[in-house]
A and B are shown apart, each in its own frame.
Chain A
């Protein structure tokens, strides 16, 4: 390769990049839904294009960073395995752990709110427990529950417990004294007030917890597999293929994990918008100036 090639590639990439960014800026400023959807998609295409041109043109070694087309091919060739990996990691570890951890955290949050004894005993303890790097307990979970999905689900449960717990406790404090007095003036019971006032008021907090937990669950499930797993799972795939220096497959697995992560995030955001449409942060006009 002549020394002129990298320069030519850089020049091309810069020109295309700047031109495309200017075009995208104009598109982004256009009102309407189409522009709002199109802009990020075109931006992603631009990033992939520049990535492809730069890695190929500058002849970046594959071990450092494979080109997108190489990753896509690896994905295509390995798709049966990757599908099984997703099933193992997401369906068996991340989702059950996420559901149980979030639910347990929220129920504990209500219990702590209900009982002054638990409030004094559990709240300080929990702030201590929440700083423990829980992924570190993965080997112990494997010792307890074996190499299968159960140990991964247990790690995810432990990781997702605290955000759910802490946000439930904070969310239950959201209802104002006047709103509580209002319920009291109807001689409403504790559970009626919880159900009709305090839980709905806590919803924005709960969705924050769920969104945090969705990514924590995926990370937890993948990292837990590094410590030992049956012969599939996204985490297993990443650690095994890196041993073979099959970086294209590693990247393919990462891309799949990213897709699952952003898919679940999008799903939760949509659910949040539907459930907390009344919250100031969701009302029309709230995101216009920010």
Chain B
């Protein structure tokens, strides 16, 4: 893989995110989002606070409509909070977006059908005005990183759903962001493909010192990937519980059979059934 400048910084297996004191990559403080509705005001998010430190992997999990996507969009400056503040990398979310400091993976791959896989990955690089040869080199490297080096010249409709989602991850990685925002990226995939991509994602996260905020509906997926799991509940959308997930940073799929894994899964499940009980 040509572009792995972080290869030598592979970490000693830190287990616990003790970085709370350090400058947060993302800090969300007392944020609320409300929309006018027929019955008065609808609270998509209410009094949400969350600090995400560097190299954390945060999963947002909760019932449909509890505001996971909304929270991600606030951090990405694709929507604005009604009240509260959001800081990204110490600045405003607007500045962070202007600096292209995050990569966003959407719930659908959202590939442009008139572009090949490679050209799709080059799209953000065109927007930031990178030279053509540099664009090609970086996009090729990003495609290789998700294991799609030989699908570069294929069009989206010639790719399976899993491949399309990997192209969209490569596209998010091509800007070399340190923060990755992912909204149910594997929601539409079968179990086995999902396992493979999960494994891939932890490797990327660890090897590249990424900070990831990840939305999912799957408890095993959340426990497998995360350093912290944020359980949310709806009406109003809020954080109901935050569960530390002290598994080693280097993970393989077998970890899912360990007692630690099962114990954390149970905690998440309990938190979620409380959230669903409130429905």
Contacts and interface: CB of A to CB of B under 8 A. Distances in A.
Given A182-B104, A184-B78, A185-B97, A196 B127 contact: yes
A197 B112 contact: yes
A182 B124 CA distance: 9
B104 A185 contact: yes
A178 B127 contact: no
B74 to A, nearest CB: 13
Which of under 10, 10 to 19, 20 to 34, or 35 or more describes the interface residues of A?
20 to 34
Interface in A208-237: none
Contact of A192 (B98, B112, B127): B127
A77 interface: no
Contacts of B175: 186
A185 B113 contact: no
A181 B106 contact: yes
Interface in A169-213: 176, 178-179, 181-188, 192, 196-197, 200
A128 interface: no
Secondary structure type dominating chain B contacts: loop
Interface in A232-248: none
A186 B110 CA distance: 14
Contact of B110 (A178, A184, A187, A283): A178
Contacts of B100: 186-187
A197 B127 CA distance: 11
Given A278-B113, A278-B155, A187 B98 contact: yes
Shortest 9 CB-CB contacts between residues of A and residues of B: A278-B113, A278-B114, A185-B104, A186-B127, A186-B124, A188-B127, A178-B110, A187-B98, A178-B106
Interface string A60-74: 000000000000000
Interface string B99-121: 01011101110101110000000
B76 interface: yes
A196 B104 contact: no
Nearest to B155: A278
Contact of B107 (A178, A188, A276, A277): A178
B133 to A, nearest CB: 19
A279 interface: yes
Contacts of A179: 110, 112
A279 B113 contact: yes
Contacts of A186: 100, 123-124, 127-128, 175
Contacts of B126: 196
14 contacts: A178-B108, A178-B110, A179-B112, A181-B106, A182-B110, A184-B97, A186-B124, A186-B128, A188-B127, A196-B123, A200-B112, A277-B114, A278-B114, A278-B157
A195 to B, nearest CB: 10
B97 A181 contact: no
Contacts of A187: 97-98, 100, 127
Interface of B: 73, 76, 78, 97-98, 100, 102-104, 106-108, 110, 112-114, 123-124, 126-128, 155, 157, 175
Q: Which of B76, B78, B107, B127 has the most CB of A within 10 A?
A: B127
A182 B106 contact: yes
Nearest to B76: A185
A181 B113 contact: no
Contacts of A197: 112
A185 B128 CA distance: 12
A134 to B, nearest CB: 34
A279 B156 CA distance: 11
Nearest to B113: A278
B53 to A, nearest CB: 22
A175 B8 CA distance: 42
Given A178-B110, A196-B127, A279-B113, A185 B102 contact: yes
Contacts of B157: 278, 283
Interface string A115-158: 00000000000000000000000000000000000000000000
A176 B78 CA distance: 14
Nearest to A185: B104
A179 B128 CA distance: 17
B273 to A, nearest CB: 31
Given A184-B97, A196-B127, A283-B157, 18 more contacts: A176-B110, A179-B110, A181-B73, A181-B78, A182-B110, A184-B78, A185-B76, A185-B104, A186-B128, A186-B175, A187-B97, A188-B127, A192-B127, A197-B112, A200-B114, A276-B114, A278-B114, A278-B155
Contacts of A283: 157
Contacts of B108: 178
Contacts of B114: 200, 276-278
A167 B76 CA distance: 32
A279 B128 CA distance: 27
A233 to B, nearest CB: 40
Contacts of A192: 127
Nearest to A275: B114
B166 to A, nearest CB: 16
